[in-house]
Structure 1
Amino acid sequence: MTIKAYLYDRCGTCRKAKQWLNQHGVAFEEIPIVEAPPSKEELRRMWQASGLDLRKFFNTSGQHYRELGLKDKLPAMSEEEMLELLSSNGKLIKRPLVTDGNTVTVGFKEDEFEKAWGAR
């Protein structure tokens, strides 16, 4: 499967991830996360493949996260409610979000990218 990279142009971390992928010759499809966020079902598959807590998919340093008071609301939300919220607003999703359908990385840490995407 093609590697999909959900990125936001004005995000410095996304630019670093994109540069890393390009420098390492990793072919990927760039998807603008704000204009075309992953669907609820796509997010569900990524979350399950990642093995991460669903809350790790939230951009906790974002303005929308703070405006919605999600720090206090997330603990009481169901997984369905969280997935619905994430799929409704790409700015709530921690980025970059990169997947090939089996492997998923959330955010950019060079060592994690090397492990996930380096040997391609």
Structure 2
Amino acid sequence: MAITFYWYPKCQTSRKAKKWLEERNIPFEPVHIVENPPSREELENLYKRSGLELKKFFNTSGQKYRELGLKDQVKTMSEKEMLDVLATDGMLLKRPIATDGKQVTVGFNETVYENTWGKNV
């Protein structure tokens, strides 16, 4: 089954992850995270499958994150509020997000990719 790969082409980390998948001939379906961001429902599913804290889904180094002053707000937001905010703009999401419908990775760490996606080769 192909991986759904939410990425932003101008993002260096996204490009590294894409190259990693391509070099290993791992099939994936690229989805431009800004033009076609995951819906709120999809985000909730991704979050629940990831095993990560919801805060890990925020692109904390992004301009939009800083503009909205989310650094302090996220600390007191409920899960519902965080999901609502994340669903408003693909630029708020840490990228890339990869999923096969069961497993989810957020960001790119070669070891995590090897352990998650490399075993499917």
Q: TM-score range by the shorter chain?
A: over 0.9
> Normalising by structure 2, what TM-score?
0.96
- Counterpart CA distance in 2 for 1:47 and 1:7 is 16
Q: Secondary structure at the match of 1:60?
A: coil
Q: Secondary structure at the match of 1:88?
A: coil
Tell me what 1:111 maps to.
111
- Counterpart CA distance in 1 for 2:5 and 2:57 is 14
Tell me what 1:83 maps to.
83
Number of residue equivalences: 120
In the alignment, does 2:52 pair up with 1:57? no
Q: Secondary structure at the match of 1:119?
A: helix
**What percent identity do the matched residue pairs reach?**
56
1:64-117, CA deviations, whole angstroms, 9 ceiling, x for partnerless residues?
Answer: 000101011011111111111111100000000000111100000100000010
- Counterpart CA distance in 2 for 1:21 and 1:2 is 11
Tell me what 1:28 maps to.
28
Divergent runs of 4+, >3 A:
none
In the alignment, does 2:41 pair up with 1:41? yes
Tell me what 1:3 maps to.
3
- Counterpart CA distance in 1 for 2:30 and 2:40 is 19
Q: Secondary structure at the match of 1:91?
A: helix
Tell me what 2:68 maps to.
68
Amino acid at match of 1:21: L
Q: Secondary structure at the match of 2:98?
A: strand
Alpha-carbon deviation of 1:2? 3.1
- Counterpart CA distance in 2 for 1:76 and 1:41 is 22
- Counterpart CA distance in 2 for 1:75 and 1:108 is 24
Tell me what 1:101 maps to.
101
Amino acid at match of 1:14: S
Q: Secondary structure at the match of 2:59?
A: coil
- Counterpart CA distance in 1 for 2:68 and 2:7 is 22
Structure 2 spans left out of the alignment, 5+ residues: none
